[in-house]
A = this chain, B = another copy of it.
């Protein structure tokens, strides 16, 4: 294997060669801040996934190392993230009791499958599949997930039992069970929420007012949540909150996880396949968009196909070290970037920090109230909600807004997978519906130019004997018959026409169905003594037409440009128009 191919598959090979003390210092500082941020988040997202909190720490060690080896983004911080944890819970909760041994094993299996699927997509170059998760679908999915997550965590804040598998059922259940609220738990949760809010929006400016410089204040500000976690543990131990009925994390095993392959169960794997596929795609899309945004700031590039390898190996690493599905998180990656991470080594350093935590600090977690973790989750997901996006999208494009709304409703009322699938399905259907009745314009020459535009929008010159029609769509099976209808209609509305020029500047494909339609159109026009011509046919389309007998049977010619066609078929009108001497016949409506 050449060095070049090696560094394509192992991008670390590239940056490790130039790694030095200076870069290491910057990476280490970023790693400390990210680690302090990662501890509360990974505990919380494990709880969100229905797993023991410690598994969140397990999922934040080995995967970070693997991503450092195989990933291409210098800023991406992988680990447990809210949306993927929610999807994990949604996939597993119907099958096993949350937190049971079967549930934990299934989560590992899900991570393994997700990792293998990502690697398969890398090998088969199927990364393009992720593109089908359109912007509105992803945006609607994330906002709705945030609502679903926040609703689901409210019960931890109120100290109520779990119930309801969709947003409506959860809300109704919370409303009905509200009288049974456990007040010490609620107090713990609300205090945590207030403190987390202050830490997020006020802490940094207070530090600055105390004389810290902006950068340092920013760095210390990020440690707010971990300080609140410590404070909560101290207070919970001191006030003996567990005895007061406040649910706490309880005994946590100390030491690194043992490395084992998840136990294989074919029936279960088949059941989990759709969830694994969607988790892979959603995780990949989230990760790549964060990575690309951050890379653009430093004029770097993220290689999507290699990201599949990075995330795939990271998920497999999570699976064999007792974790669950993970991906690159938005908030954490931005912090990593802002704190100055220069290479993926920062991730490896973070993994080291988490390993030290697992080795030394787990006994501390015993008295951590679940309500504090719930508050952490709620604070984190609130920033993911972008309900205004629906209004903005509606203003720009109704079909996109419809897809977004359906995704949101699907996620809230049916389930996370159903929501995504409904959104993607509707996006495709609306596109195909649109493309099946394309915009078709009769065009004329803009006076004084060789340019042809829609007669209804521009003051143009039309030849009396040549009808020019521009079809604004590729010609393929959904619209082939529509084209036949439209041409017949236009011809009947323009008596006296001897030539019809189909301007193909917007035709990017003519498939076999459309070819049959074109042949039928040509035959019908021939019987009406009208010649069919094509203009501005693109290279690739022309190459394909040459492989069929169509061009031999065409009654007219193929012109390089619409202007060349008109110049040949009606030189007089065309020259007058170019010299700006013709009278404009058509007026825009």
Contact = CB atoms under 8 A, between A and B. Distances in A.
Contacts of A428: 428, 432
- With most chain B CB atoms within 10 A of its CB, the pick from A293, A401, A508 is A508
> How many copies of this chain are found per oligomer?
2
A232 to B, nearest CB: 39
Interface in A453-470: 453-454, 456-457
A431 B561 CA distance: 27
B132 A393 contact: no
A506 interface: yes
Contact of A449 (B304, B450, B508): B450
A530 to B, nearest CB: 13
Contacts of A511: 134, 397, 399-400, 431
Contact of A481 (B131, B393, B520): B131
Interface in A508-523: 508-509, 511-513, 515-516, 520, 523
A540 B564 CA distance: 26
A441 B541 CA distance: 13
A439 B541 CA distance: 11
A451 interface: yes
A508 B128 contact: no
Interface stretch (A212-220, A233-241, A471-479): A471-479
Given A480-B131, A540-B439, A548 B431 contact: no
A477 B131 contact: yes
A450 B563 contact: yes
A288 B450 CA distance: 41
A128 B433 contact: yes
Contacts of A449: 450, 561, 563-564
A488 interface: yes
- With most chain B CB atoms within 10 A of its CB, the pick from A401, A441, A478 is A478
A508 B506 contact: yes
A495 interface: no
A144 interface: no
A132 B427 contact: no
Contacts of A507: 506
Given A457-B539, A477-B427, A505-B506, A482 B400 contact: no
A114 B290 CA distance: 50
A395 B538 CA distance: 19
A488 B515 CA distance: 35
Interface in A235-287: none
A497 to B, nearest CB: 16
Nearest to A136: B512
22 contacts: A128-B437, A132-B477, A132-B478, A134-B476, A135-B480, A135-B513, A135-B516, A136-B512, A136-B513, A288-B481, A296-B520, A296-B527, A304-B485, A435-B474, A439-B538, A454-B539, A456-B539, A472-B540, A505-B505, A505-B536, A506-B508, A506-B538
Interface of A: 128, 131-137, 288, 292-293, 296, 299, 301, 304, 393, 395-397, 399-401, 427-428, 431-439, 441, 446, 449-451, 453-454, 456-457, 472-474, 476-482, 484-485, 488, 505-509, 511-513, 515-516, 520, 523-524, 527-528, 536, 538-540, 544, 547-548, 560-561, 563-564
Given A136-B512, A396-B544, 8 more contacts: A128-B482, A131-B482, A134-B480, A135-B480, A296-B520, A439-B508, A451-B563, A472-B538
